[in-house]
Amino acid sequence: MDKKHKGQKLVTKIGSLAQLGAGVSRDHGMVIFVDRAVPGDQVEVELYDVRKDFAHAQIISIIEPSPSRIEPPCKIFKVCGGCQWQHIDYQAQLDAKRDIVCQSLQHIAQLDPNIVLPTLGSDTPFFYRNKVQFPVRNPVDSSRILAGYYQIGSHELVNIKHCPIQPEPLDRMLEAAKNALEQERITAYDEETKAGTLRHICARYSFSSKEILLTFVVNTDPDGQGTKSLMTKLGRASESIVEQVPEVVGTAINFNNRSGNRIMGDKTIGLSGKLYIVEHLSTTDSQLPQELHKGLDFQLSPTSFFQVNSPQLVHLLELVSHSVLDYQNKKAKPEEKPILIDAYAGVGTMALWLSALCDQVIAIEEHDQAADDAVTNNELNHISNVDVCHGRVEDILPEIKEMIGTDPDILLLDPPRKGLSPAAVAAAIALNCPRIIYISCNPASLARDLKVLEQNGYKTIRVQPVDMFPQTFHVESVAIVDRV
């Protein structure tokens, strides 16, 4: 094999897509990851990062485009890193996401890829985001506020005006916010110098009420000098934004003066209007109970976790519901509803939804605001068979049997992207539930955890990829794991 070097130009065929979104070529004796490529493309590329076993390349020219290559609807797609796959036909995106899940399960957990079902596509592959988090910048020698997403593979900011994966009211909100902040001479935080005030413009959007909750993340201590003056300025900016964008029903300020890439700090206070919005979710699935057709309301605070795609979230909830019904139908006494533990419950979305199918649900959530929202949502929907436990999954799972006085039937796991900690995996195994439903946004950590479960008396029955993030490489998966 000829040794490859930076700057070398090659002609190659793209065979697949990698987990982080790049095209993959294996034509030249090593894996080459090609930015913005499509499986089936014949391209000329230039290597810009060469390692021992792989390289990264950029496309110089497309010799023969793939049948799956399409024109991206976003005018700044070529530079913006917010989306990676707008140039790929949607069905090809779904196929690639299944392939990514298959590869992770096969290579990491040695599982049969045939257990992976076709990806469940979204009815709304554009304008679906209910939450946005925009970093901000000041141009050199300017007080203008720029906000958007980072360029591909860098921290250079791409200033955006219109984004095709967020609802149109969020476009108007962002433009109004930038103008109002400039008017108040709010400075943007600089990562290198640690100077400046505003770090992020964040917003939540309710598809049911069409309302927006806007949050300014600032590089300030809540009790620091100058905070009162800053709040006065942000209060005036909020008034201007609400006047221009009536969908904005509340504004808040979040304090985060820590170094690093964490977006939100621990303290949030209201500036104007409401400190929450409400999302309503309901189903049309005839096999699910009538109360789910009527639907549930979920109160969402600025920092609480909620799935980013409300329309597709309903399909995810339906999918998990059928896994619960499937388990119940296989019981010796199917008339007895199961007892379910919802670990990493967030604002209680899964727990409250599944309460209609269960005798009892225990929801475990560590994050303070999310746990408070889960309690509020429980009361908001008048649900009596859900108990919210505030604490770490690792700490509470070992106490569950004593807490409820019996053995639970189903353990629902929906951890952060990093997956389960070793202590959480051990606690899950020790609980010995007949069925585990594992929801994951990271195929690699899912495969890692399934491997441990398989080594400890469980078998993965099936894995259903769900496209919660169209136009990106991200993929959600729902794994059904039964004790054998």
Q: Which residues are catalytic?
A: 441
d(CA 103, CA 336) in angstroms, rounded, equals 38
Helix (H) or strand (E) holding 133: strand 131-137
| Closest CA relative to residue 375, chosen from 472, 301, 284, 459 | 301
End-to-end CA distance of the chain: 47
| Closest CA relative to residue 20, chosen from 44, 37, 1 | 37
Cβ neighbours of residue 453 under 8 Å, at least 6 residues apart? 425, 428, 429, 436, 460, 481
Sign of CA dihedral 297, 299, 305, 311: positive
The two three-digit tokens of residue 28, written as one number: 């030249």
d(CA 30, CA 1) in angstroms, rounded, equals 9
Given a contact cutoff of 8 angstroms between Cβ atoms, the answer to whether 45 and 13 are in contact is no
What is the pairing mode between strands 410-413 and 435-440?
A: parallel
Which parts of 274-407 are beta strand (E)?
277-281, 296-300, 339-343, 360-365, 386-390
Cβ neighbours of residue 333 under 8 Å, at least 6 residues apart? none
Given a contact cutoff of 8 angstroms between Cβ atoms, the answer to whether 104 and 447 are in contact is yes
CA atoms in the 13 A half-sphere facing the CB of 101: 31
Helix (H) or strand (E) holding 482: strand 476-483
User: How many C-beta atoms surround the C-beta of residue 229 within 10 A?
Assistant: 9
d(CA 276, CA 270) in angstroms, rounded, equals 9
